[in-house]
Structure 1
Amino acid sequence: MSSVWDDLDLLLDSPSSLTVNSTVRGTIKEKPGFNPGEDAAALRKAIEGIGTTEKTLIDILTQRSNAQRQLVCKAYQDATGRTLCDDLEGDTRGDLEGILVALITPPAKFDCQEFIGAIKGAGTTESVLIELFASRSNHQIKAMCDAYLAETGRALIHDLKSEVSGDFEKTLLILAEGKRVESTNVDVAKAKEDAKILYEAGEKKWGTDESKFIDILCHRSVPQLRQTLVEYKSLSGKTLQESIEREMSGRLEDILVAIVKCVKSVPAYLAERLYKSMKGAGTTESTLTRIIVGRSEVDLQDIKAEYKKLFGTSLYSDIESETSGDFGQTLLKICGEDGK
């Protein structure tokens, strides 16, 4: 079965969310004529009035950039002596509370809190760890690690070590160091050589040498890896993803496939995560919140476009049919209707 992940034709020229630090592909932009004091007063009225006016909370918090929301939080605290976060937690419930609090959290701190949520409690949520580390740029990973240190006083890598093991751990720890090469230069000869190393460590060998896969996939730059994917297919007749799926299993397979997908297209990888979070048994609201809020100023426009290509329906209409109430409304506002 051929899939979007087998198509390498346009790969070498397409932009990558792992290397671009820009907000132009987000759905949320700075609001012109923004006044933090006015917003804070409106939020206060919505929270302190008889019965919280959720619509006001949603309208304000989804139509400002994260940087503007930080200024609103400060104005709110200056005016009331309370934090907006505490008041939202006191006044809203469940998934709505989760998404409104996510909106007023700085992005690196939000990633850090998602990481903490994934490692605490009974059993680690590996799928969240995979998503966080495979889809984030070096810059985002470093910011998440800094936020973790500020929040807990401990190094993220230290705590990660105690939660995972084996080759899966090795892969996550390398990604968590945020050391992927940033150069945009592509060495074609090196890509051919890496492709050959991967082929000989997997398809051609009895038993797989996982360490070669981990080393190459976690360290090379995105443009270099893209060239390697192309060389691998012309050498072996298969995509690297197909080979990983044949040769490996379990969590290691999951994370290496996620890295390959993100090297090709972070938005397509996240579109697939969103689809699975809605179409599986029961909707995974925390995944919807993490991706929709977390990518709202990064590449949510691209995620919407990839979603449509992959699944033939719009992200907007799937969110509309799979979620409800104020939580669903908040997601839809962030997502934006254009090209439903």
Structure 2
Amino acid sequence: MSGTSRKARPSLTQEILSYLGLANKTAAWGTLGTLRTFLSFSVDKDVQRLLRAIAGQGVDRHAIVDVLTNRSREQRQVISRAFQERTQQDLLTSLQAALSGNLERIVVALLQPEAHFDAQELRTALKDSGPANEVIVEILATRTPPQLQECLAVYKQGFQVEAEEDIKSATRGTLQDLFLALAKGDRETCSEVIDYHLAEQDVQALKQADRPGMEETWVLILTQRNPEHLIRARPVRLSHGLPCAPQVFDQYQQRTGHEPEHTIQDRFHGDAQMALLSLASVIRNTPLYFANKLHRALQETEPDNQALTRILISRSEIDLLSIRAEYKKKFGKSLYSSLQDAVKGDCRLALLALCRAEDL
């Protein structure tokens, strides 16, 4: 290829991996998660290793962490079933008896099915108040429709009440409307075709929703429209064949002179404002949203280990590499180093293992 030839633009995945120093390892990693299916998986060896870790004179925490943070969630479930069959003991109960504190909570989260873990976190948040609303937004807004559907089914089965009923009991007003809309999980699916006319209608509706009694317009559009309709990440063709146009958020800024988040800050207050701003952040850039949450959790006097555990585990097989890249880009320090500096005790080993590596 000549020096004047145009180079192909790298894909988003290649850009992220290049930023992390992993551009030549795409085939080995295969996803944007830090944790993937362990190819040399032997359930018998893992069961035996865990048995030795808890049966000796001293609990081998390193062995427990090494096994559980190097297996996919599906493989961990296989290990749990095999442990039960071979020992007639429940693995989760056995490990809880051997461990304590934050490490115990991390191990419980690793061994629980994803929907059970999310349902428990959602229940705890709904019975709390204030900052717990951020947890509710996180779970309801960042899970896929099938994940959310399963979470709500487990919630009903485990707590003998619909999550929607708990939402109605714990919230009111715009915040309640927002949570109930998110809990329906019926956001429109992404399309390769831009509906320009719907985008225009949504922009006009948001512009007009700046007076009392119009809060439902913001809730409807932010919870029903697909993210690419609100903020397009890549060029696609319009439904009528014209060149690609800015989507709702960008058009709104062009028409009003400020971003939708600015209007949310002016128009809403308290918990409803916080929840809508969090939702807008998820829509704009989900990895950056999680990077910000991790940074806040690490900046507290005592690190918020519950938030660190929930985010690192839930995103470890999805997009934790992207989150690490956003974290390093925004805060000038790697997530791995931040965890190393802020977290103490046995749980640090597990959280670092989930994070996986330093970003140079």
Q: TM-score, length-normalised on structure 1?
A: 0.89
Q: Deviations over 1:76-100 (max 9, x none)?
A: 1112211111111111111100001
Q: CA deviation at 1:150?
A: 2.9
1:220 aligned onto 2:225: yes
Paired residue secondary structure (2:313): helix
Matched letter for residue 99 of structure 1: I
1:337 match: 357
1:42 match: 49
Matched ranges for 1:272-291 at <5 A: 272-291=292-311
1:120 match: 127
Match of 1:28 among 32, 35, 40: 35
Paired residue secondary structure (2:165): helix
Distance in 2 between the 1:51 and 1:136 partners?
Answer: 39
Does the 8 Å CA contact 2:35/2:316 hold for their aligned counterparts?
Answer: yes
1:200 match: 208
2:82 match: 75
Match of 1:102 among 103, 109, 114: 109
Distance in 1 between the 2:287 and 2:338 partners?
Answer: 17
2:267 match: 247
Distance in 2 between the 1:72 and 1:325 partners?
Answer: 26
1:266 match: 286
Q: CA deviation at 1:196?
A: 1.8
Match of 1:189 among 194, 197, 201: 197
Distance in 1 between the 2:291 and 2:160 partners?
Answer: 34
Stretch moving more, 53-62 or 177-186: 177-186
Q: Deviations over 1:263-307 (max 9, x none)?
A: 111111011011011113321110000000111111111110111
Identity over aligned residues, as a percent? 31
Q: How many residues are aligned here?
A: 318
Q: CA deviation at 1:117?
A: 1.8
Q: Deviations over 1:18-50 (max 9, x none)?
A: xxxxx8111001111211111011101101111
Matched letter for residue 350 of structure 2: T
Q: TM-score, length-normalised on structure 2?
A: 0.84
Distance in 1 between the 2:217 and 2:327 partners?
Answer: 32
Larger Rg: 2
Does the 8 Å CA contact 1:85/1:101 hold for their aligned counterparts?
Answer: yes
1:138 aligned onto 2:145: yes
CA gap of 1:122–1:82, structure 2 versus 1, over 3 A, is farther
Does the 8 Å CA contact 1:192/1:232 hold for their aligned counterparts?
Answer: no
- Structure 1 residue runs of 4+, over 4 Å off? 121-124
Paired residue secondary structure (1:325): coil
Match of 2:256 among 229, 236, 254: 236
Gaps spanning 5+ residues in structure 1: where? 1-12, 16-22
Q: Deviations over 1:231-263 (max 9, x none)?
A: 111111111111111221111111111111111
Does the 8 Å CA contact 1:135/1:259 hold for their aligned counterparts?
Answer: no
Matched letter for residue 170 of structure 2: E
1:51 match: 58
1:151 aligned onto 2:158: yes
1:177 match: 184
Does the 8 Å CA contact 1:124/1:163 hold for their aligned counterparts?
Answer: no
Does the 8 Å CA contact 1:118/1:125 hold for their aligned counterparts?
Answer: yes
Distance in 1 between the 2:190 and 2:97 partners?
Answer: 47
Q: Deviations over 1:111-161 (max 9, x none)?
A: 111112212368882221122112222222112112212323332222222
Greater RCO (Cα-Cα under 8 Å, separation 6 or more): 1
Paired residue secondary structure (2:278): helix
Gaps spanning 5+ residues in structure 2: where? 1-10, 14-29, 232-246
Match of 1:326 among 337, 341, 346: 346
2:23 match: none
CA gap of 1:61–1:30, structure 2 versus 1, over 3 A, is same
Aligned CA RMSD, in angstroms, stands at 1.9
